[in-house]
Chain A
Amino acid sequence: MQKRTISYMVVAVFLLIGLAPVLSMLINSIVAEGRFSLGAYSSVLTSARQWNLMAHSAVLSLLVSTFATCLGVPLGLLLGKTDLPFKKTLTALFVIPLLIPPYIIAVAWVDFLGIQHLKGLWACVLVLSSAFLPIPMLLTMIFLRTINPRLEEAARLVSGWAGVLKTITLPLILPGILLGGIVVFLLTFGEFGVPNFLRYDVFAVESFTQFSAFYNFKAATASSVPLALVTLLVLLVEARFLRERTYQIRPTPDSIQSSTSIRLGKEKHFWLGMASLLAMALVIVPLLVLLLRSEGLNSYTQALERAGHSMVRSVTYAFWGATLLTIMGFFLGYIIHTKALAFWRSVDSFTIFLFALPATVIGIGLISLWNTPWTNFVYGTAAIIILGYLAKYTALTSRIMVTQFAQVPASMEEAAHISGAGWARTMFFIVAPLAKRGLLAGWIVAYIFSIRDTGISMLVYPPGHETLPVRIFTLMANGSEQLIAALCVLMIAATLVPAAILWSVPRLLAKRKVP
Chain B
Amino acid sequence: MKSIELDSVSKAYGNETVLLDFSLDIEPGERVVLLGPSGCGKTTILRLVAGFIKPDSGSVSLDGQVVSRDKRILVPPQHRKLGMVFQDLALWPHLSVRGNLEFGLRAKGISKNEREAKTQKTLELVGMGGYGHRKPDELSGGQQQRVALARALVLEPKVLLMDEPLSSLDLELNRRLRKELVRLQEKLEITLLYVTHDREEASHIATRTISMEKGRISSN
Contacts and interface: CB of A to CB of B under 8 A. Distances in A.
A160 interface: yes
B84 A154 contact: yes
A154 B103 CA distance: 10
Interface stretch (B73-81, B170-178, B199-207): B73-81
A349 interface: no
Nearest to A155: B103
What interface size band does chain A fall in? 20 to 34
A154 B96 CA distance: 15
Contacts of A150: 86-88, 90
B83 interface: yes
Contacts of B187: none
Interface stretch (A73-81, A167-175, A309-317): A167-175
B13 A255 contact: yes
Interface residues of B, number: 28
A5 interface: no
Interface string A17-45: 00000000000000000000000000000
Interface in B138-153: 151
Give the residue among A150, A154, A255, A259 with the most B Cβ atoms within 10 A. A154
Nearest to A150: B90
Interface stretch (B24-32, B47-55, B111-119): B47-55
Interface string B116-131: 0000000000000000
Contacts of A171: 94-95
Contacts of B90: 148, 150-151, 153-154
Given A158-B155, A159-B78, A153 B52 contact: yes
B86 A154 contact: yes
A151 B95 CA distance: 11
B132 interface: no
Contact of A157 (B13, B80, B95): B80
A160 to B, nearest CB: 6
Contacts of A159: 78, 103-104, 107
A163 B107 contact: yes
A215 interface: no
A247 interface: yes
Contacts of B14: 255
Nearest to B79: A160
B115 to A, nearest CB: 13
Give the residue among B82, B84, B87, B108 with the most A Cβ atoms within 10 A. B84
Contacts of B108: 158
Contact of B78 (A156, A172, A259): A156
A172 B50 contact: no
B88 A157 contact: no
B37 interface: no
Nearest to A154: B90
A157 B108 CA distance: 11
A259 B87 CA distance: 17
Interface string A304-347: 00000000000000000000000000000000000000000000
Contacts of B86: 150, 153-154
A158 B107 contact: yes
Contacts of B13: 255
A171 B47 CA distance: 25
Given A148-B88, A150-B86, A150-B88, A156 B52 contact: yes
Interface string A170-195: 01100000000000000000000000
A248 interface: yes
A143 to B, nearest CB: 13
A257 to B, nearest CB: 11
Contacts of A160: 76, 78, 107
B93 A259 contact: no
Contacts of A151: 90, 92-93
Nearest to B87: A150
A435 B206 CA distance: 47
Nearest to A153: B52
Contacts of A148: 88, 90
Give the residue among B80, B90, B104 with the most A Cβ atoms within 10 A. B90
Contacts of B93: 151, 172, 247-248
B152 to A, nearest CB: 8
B94 A172 contact: yes
A248 B135 CA distance: 14
B78 A158 contact: yes
Interface in B1-49: 13-14, 47
Contacts of B83: 157
B78 to A, nearest CB: 5
B78 A168 contact: no
Contacts of A248: 93
A155 B155 CA distance: 12
A263 to B, nearest CB: 9
A171 B34 CA distance: 35
Contact of B84 (A157, A163, A168, A172): A157
A150 B95 CA distance: 15
A167 B77 contact: no
Nearest to A160: B78
Nearest to B94: A171
A413 to B, nearest CB: 27
A154 B108 CA distance: 15
Contacts of A259: 47, 52-53
Contacts of B84: 153-154, 157
Given A148-B88, A171-B94, A153 B107 contact: no
A154 B88 CA distance: 11
A160 B94 CA distance: 19
A184 to B, nearest CB: 24
A248 B84 CA distance: 20
A153 B50 contact: yes
Interface of B: 13-14, 47, 50, 52-53, 76-78, 80, 82-84, 86-88, 90, 92-95, 103-104, 106-108, 151, 155
The 5 closest A-B pairs by CB, nearest first: A158-B104, A150-B90, A159-B107, A154-B90, A255-B13
Interface of A: 148, 150-151, 153-160, 163, 167-168, 171-172, 247-248, 255, 259
25 contacts: A148-B88, A150-B88, A151-B92, A153-B50, A153-B77, A153-B86, A153-B90, A154-B84, A154-B86, A154-B90, A154-B92, A155-B104, A156-B76, A156-B78, A157-B80, A157-B82, A157-B84, A160-B107, A163-B103, A163-B106, A163-B107, A172-B92, A247-B94, A255-B14, A259-B53
Given A151-B93, A157-B104, 14 more contacts: A148-B88, A148-B90, A150-B88, A153-B50, A153-B52, A154-B90, A154-B92, A155-B104, A157-B78, A157-B82, A168-B103, A172-B92, A172-B93, A259-B47
